[in-house]
Amino acid sequence: MYPLRNLPSNRRSSTKPARTLTRQRRTVNKCGSSTINQTNMSYKAFLSHSKVSKEDQEFYDLKNKAAEYYRSNGVPQKIENVLNEMFWQKPDDIYGYLANYFSRLSDTPVISKIIGREVFDGRGLTAIQTQVYCIIRNEEKVVCSAMMSGPSDGLEEDGVAESGEEFTNSNQQRLSITAALKWIREHLSPMLQGFNPTDQTSVDKLLSDFFMACYLEHKDSLNIDKEDELRIESVSEAPPQATPIPAPTKDKKGSDKGKKGNSTEKLLPPAETPLPQLPGATAVGVVSLAVAKTAAILLGEPLYRHITSVRVPQAQSEMHLPVPMITILSCGKNSVGKLNLLEEVILMPSSSQRVREALQVIGMGFELQCEMKRVLNGSAYKAGPICLTEDGALQVGFERPEQALDLITEACANLALPLGSDLRLAINCAAHSLMDYSRGKYEVMSGCHKSHDELVDMYEGLINKYPAITFLIDPFRKEDVDQWDRLASVIGQSCCLIADAASNFCPRWSEVKPLPPGVTRVIIRHHSDMTISDLIRSIAEQKETMLAAGSGDASIVDLAVGSGVSFLKLGGLRGGEGMDKYNRLLAIEEELEQEGILGAREKKQPLSDLSETLNSGSGCDSVTIST
Please choose, from the candidates 520, 400, 521, the residue with its C-alpha nearest in 3D space to the C-alpha of residue 461.
400
Q: How do residues 235-266 score in pLDDT, each as one tens digit?
A: 665 554 545 555 444 444 444 444 444 444 46
Among 10-19, 274-283, 366-375, 452-461, the range scoring the smallest mean pLDDT is 10-19
Q: Which DSSP symbol is given to 511?
A: P
Please choose, from the candidates 523, 518, 477, the residue with its C-alpha nearest in 3D space to the C-alpha of residue 496.
518
Q: What is the pLDDT of residue 533?
A: 93
Q: What angle, 0 to 180 degrees and rounded to 10, lies between the N-to-C axes of helices 75-89 and 94-103?
A: 140
616: left (phi over 0), alpha (psi -120 to 50) or beta: alpha
CA atoms within 13 A on the CB side of 178: 6
Q: How do residues 287-321 score in pLDDT, each as one tens digit?
A: 999 999 999 999 999 999 999 999 988 877 788 88
State what percent of residues in the chain have pLDDT above 70.
70
List all residues 6 or more positions away from 259 whose beta carbon is below 8 Å from its beta carbon. Answer: none
- Kindly tell me if the per-residue pLDDT of 102 is higher than 50: yes
**φ, ψ (nearest 5 deg) of residue 57:** -65, -45
The pLDDT of 557-575, averaged and rounded, is 85
Please choose, from the candidates 506, 453, 510, the residue with its C-alpha nearest in 3D space to the C-alpha of residue 480.
453
Q: What is the pLDDT of residue 124?
A: 79
- The ranges assigned to domains in the chain are 65-105, 110-221, 320-595
Among 338-347, 511-520, 551-560, the range scoring the smallest mean pLDDT is 511-520
Distance CA 337, CA 529 (A): 36
Cβ–Cβ under 8 Å, residues 462 and 469: yes
Cβ–Cβ under 8 Å, residues 208 and 311: no
The pLDDT of 68-89, averaged and rounded, is 92
Q: What is the pLDDT of residue 17?
A: 44
- Kindly tell me if the per-residue pLDDT of 466 is higher than 70: yes
The pLDDT of 522-532, averaged and rounded, is 85
The pLDDT of 553-582, averaged and rounded, is 84
Q: What is the pLDDT of residue 492?
A: 73
Average pLDDT in the chain: 77
List all residues 6 or more positions away from 521 whose beta carbon is below 8 Å from its beta carbon. Answer: 471, 496, 497, 498, 499, 544, 546, 567, 620, 621, 622, 623, 624
The pLDDT of 22-36, averaged and rounded, is 40
- CATH ID of 320-595, from 1.10.3720.10, 2.60.40.3080, 3.40.50.300, 3.20.20.120: 3.20.20.120
Domain 110-221 has CATH 3.30.390: yes
Kindly indicate the confidence band of residue 27, based on its pLDDT and cuts at 50, 70 and 90.
very low
Q: How do residues 351-409 score in pLDDT, each as one tens digit?
A: 666 666 666 666 777 788 888 988 888 766 766 778 888 777 888 888 899 999 999 99
Among 213-227, 391-405, 428-442, 589-603, the range scoring the smallest mean pLDDT is 213-227
* Cα separation of the two ends of the chain: 60
Kindly indicate the confidence band of residue 190, based on its pLDDT and cuts at 50, 70 and 90.
very high
Q: What is the pLDDT of residue 268?
A: 76
- Kindly tell me if the per-residue pLDDT of 456 is higher than 80: yes
Among 155-164, 432-441, 491-500, 598-607, the range scoring the smallest mean pLDDT is 155-164
Cβ–Cβ under 8 Å, residues 278 and 528: no
Q: How do residues 586-622 score in pLDDT, each as one tens digit?
A: 899 889 988 888 876 554 444 334 334 333 333 455 5
**Rounded-to-5 percentages of helix, strand, coil across the chain:** 45, 20, 40
Q: What is the pLDDT of residue 624?
A: 54
Say whether pTM exceeds 0.75.
yes
Among 327-331, 375-379, 430-434, the range scoring the smallest mean pLDDT is 375-379
Among 43-52, 262-271, 457-466, 617-626, the range scoring the smallest mean pLDDT is 617-626
Torsion (CA) 614, 619, 622, 625 in degrees, nearest 10: 140
